[in-house]
Chain A
Amino acid sequence: MEIRVQEAPFDLGHEVETFTDRQVNMGAVVTFTGITRDLPGAGMDRMEMEHYPGMTERALTQIAEEALARWDLGDVLIIHRYGVLRPQDRIMMVATASRHRAHAFEAAEFLMDYLKSRAPFWKKEVTKDGADWVAAKDEDEKALDRW
């Protein structure tokens, strides 16, 4: 299990290769990548991602441990950035490795659903017209019910 919270960009291809190379006897690797979207109309200059140092690493570790306990996984990787992000920047990624693809897919979805509303990150969108905090969506909270 590897958890990284960092300001610096990451190389998606390199991370997926490294993660895959270190697996032994795993039939499946699933990855998800979050990308900063532009905003329709106003045009986004940047997104500022704030986090709670210490609690962030703790929350992500708890979420990854829960996934390892619930599915037949060989490994989990979570990388999440903070600071200033521009449209098209990679915000975060998760990777799961399993002997079985269903476990790898499900665990990756679980990780994403949980880290969206249980990891202490807050997004602020900055356009030429001003800045706004992104509100949490009810559907993100509801997404946890299925687990």
Chain B
Amino acid sequence: MDVLYFAWVRERIGIPRETVDTKATTVAELVEELKAREERYEAAFADLSALRVALDQDLSDFDASLDGVREVAFFPPMTGG
């Protein structure tokens, strides 16, 4: 699945997007897998309350299932307008 990062999440991880091969069934499990990879992921995902997640371009939450999901995006709270 494609995993996208925006704003300071992108800066901490160092890339805007990547394709991830995962067995995670929920967003929370995917986050744990990513955190276990390298310190830069650990730094980006240290405080989940400061993060938002979108599944296939709809806002979702960390308990959500990844079943059938093609695109996951992580980013800080939005500041439009």
Q: Mark A residues whose CB is within 8 Å of B.
A: 34, 50, 52, 54-55, 58-59, 80, 91-92, 112, 115-124, 133-136, 141
Q: Given A52-B6, A55-B54, verify A119-B78 contact (CB < 8 Å).
A: yes
Q: What are 19 residue pairs bridging A and B, where the CB atoms are less than 8 Å apart in the complex?
A: A34-B81, A52-B54, A52-B57, A80-B80, A112-B81, A116-B78, A117-B77, A117-B78, A120-B54, A121-B78, A121-B79, A122-B78, A133-B7, A133-B8, A133-B76, A134-B79, A135-B79, A136-B76, A136-B77
Q: Is B78's CB under 8 angstroms from A120's CB?
A: yes
Is A117 within 8 A of B80, CB to CB? yes
**B interface residues, how many (CB within 8 angstroms):** 16
Total inter-chain residue pairs, C-beta < 8 Å: 69
Interface residues of B (CB under 8 A from A): 4, 6-8, 54, 57-59, 73, 75-81
- Establish whether residues B76 and A119, one from each chain, have CB atoms under 8 Å apart when the complex forms: no
